[in-house]
Amino acid sequence: MNKKAETITPPEKAKHIQVPEYKELLTRMKRRYEKVGRNLPILEMELARLQMISDTIESKTSFVKELYRLLKNLHPFYRSLVFLEFDETKVQKYIECIFKARKLAQYFEKKYRYILMAQEERKAIKKKASEARGRMLSPIKRCSRGLLYLKNLVVYLSHLPGINPSLPTIIVAGPPSVGKSSFVASASRARIEIAEYPFTTKDIHVGHTTINGEEIQLIDTPGLLDRRLEERNEIELKAITALKHLKGIIVFLLDPTETSSYPIPVQLEIAEDAKSVTGNKPFIYTVSKIDLVPSKTLSNTIELIKAKTGRTPYTVKANDPKSVHDLIRGIIGSHVEKQGSSM
């Protein structure tokens, strides 16, 4: 895929997909129904109306081709996010329902064209036309629930963050309240919610910054709790999805303060769990909130992390743009990785 095509993200594509509800489809037909073929003889009028119904079903459900293609080619990151929220089997079933309804509408339109032409009496033409309308509409009516489900899916997809896989990326992860959102906001001035209480971030957010003339993408993730992967809730799984499926450098923040959600050894266990899904992406242990602890506590924390991981952690004041930019410059310098991807 070329670079330009890659920058058109699935959420942007989803914004152009219009999924109608069944009642909208019906309203549109009703509005046009009386006007179609009004001045024509009865047979031609009914034929024109059948054609109009078939055309409306065809045009108003043509989104299904686009949606099918979009879902089929979805990058694993977006795929995971979508199917955390929506049932994949249902989505398949609903898409099939609509494809089938489109086919049947055309089939009955053709079939009844001949049936109507074979009628001689006005009453018989009307009766057969009404039968045709029923047979053309009932398959799409049966997809009513599916149309609504897919409409919600498209809205959800269109609100996901647009991630450009061709940019160097930093994924910021860690337990709750360690300063992940502060870090991304400091680096990028993205408008991200930051608060004193944990679980503020419930979705994945993206920010951008320029370091040494190069655009860097930063991903803010929800906080990770101390529990096994299979016990994680949907919000935590969004963070896991980013760690697993996006290419980039992972900055894992740890909170050394007394008010942290967990003591450092537990935060390191969370880090190990997170690391286990990241493959061989660079994983940067970083102590945050360094302005809030005495230097002795900071050096003890650094020693503890060194002892447990064999790596010297970086340090940062996550709510200070200069400190964050210095850190990013440092890690980009030592982990220069052009992140080509299959997104």
Ligand X SMILES: Nc1nc2c(ncn2[C@@H]2O[C@H](COP(=O)(O)OP(=O)(O)OP(=O)(O)O)[C@@H](O)[C@H]2O)c(=O)[nH]1
The answer to the question of residue 181 lying near Mg ion (CB under 5 A) is yes
The answer to the question of residue 195 lying near ligand X (CB under 6 A) is yes
The answer to the question of residue 188 lying near ligand X (CB under 6 A) is no
**Which does residue 199 bind out of Mg ion, ligand X, none, counting CB within 5 to 8 angstroms by kind?**
ligand X
Give the one residue of 223, 248, 256, 313 binding ligand X; rule: CB under 6 A.
Answer: 223
Question: How many alpha carbons lie under 13 Å from residue 41 in its C-beta half-sphere?
Answer: 8
**Distance (Å, whole) CA 148 – CA 154:** 10
Which parts of 142-200 fold into alpha helices (H)? 144-158, 180-188
Give the one residue of 9, 166, 169, 182 binding ligand X; rule: CB under 6 A.
Answer: 182
**Distance (Å, whole) CA 266 – CA 236:** 17
Smallest separation, CB 178 to ligand X (Å): 4
Smallest separation, CB 323 to ligand X (Å): 8
Compute the C-alpha angle 200/206/211, nearest 5°. 125
The answer to the question of residue 291 lying near ligand X (CB under 6 A) is yes
Smallest separation, CB 183 to ligand X (Å): 7
Binders of Mg ion among 191-210, rule CB under 5 A?
200-201
The answer to the question of residue 196 lying near ligand X (CB under 6 A) is yes
Question: How many alpha carbons lie under 13 Å from residue 53 in its C-beta half-sphere?
Answer: 33
Nearest to 107 by CA among 43, 144, 41, 57: 57
C-beta of 140 vs 163, nearer to Mg ion: 163
* Per-residue contact flags (x/-) with ligand X for residues 104 to 143, judged by CB under 6 A: ----------------------------------------
Q: For residue 209, give the H/E element and its range.
A: strand 205-211
Q: Per CB under 6 A, which region of 41-49, 57-65, 147-155, 289-297 contacts ligand X? A: 289-297
The helices-and-strands tally (H runs, E runs) of the chain is: 14, 6
Q: Which residues of 135-163 are buried (b: 16+ CB within 10 A; e: fewer)?
A: bbbebbeebeebbbbbbebbeebbebbeb
**Which does residue 156 bind out of ligand X, Mg ion, none, counting CB within 5 to 8 angstroms by kind?**
none
SS3 state at 57: helix
The answer to the question of residue 158 lying near ligand X (CB under 6 A) is no
- List interacting residues with Mg ion (CB under 5 A): 180-181, 200-201
Binding residues vs ligand X (CB under 6 A): 176-182, 194-196, 198-201, 223, 288-289, 291-292, 317-319
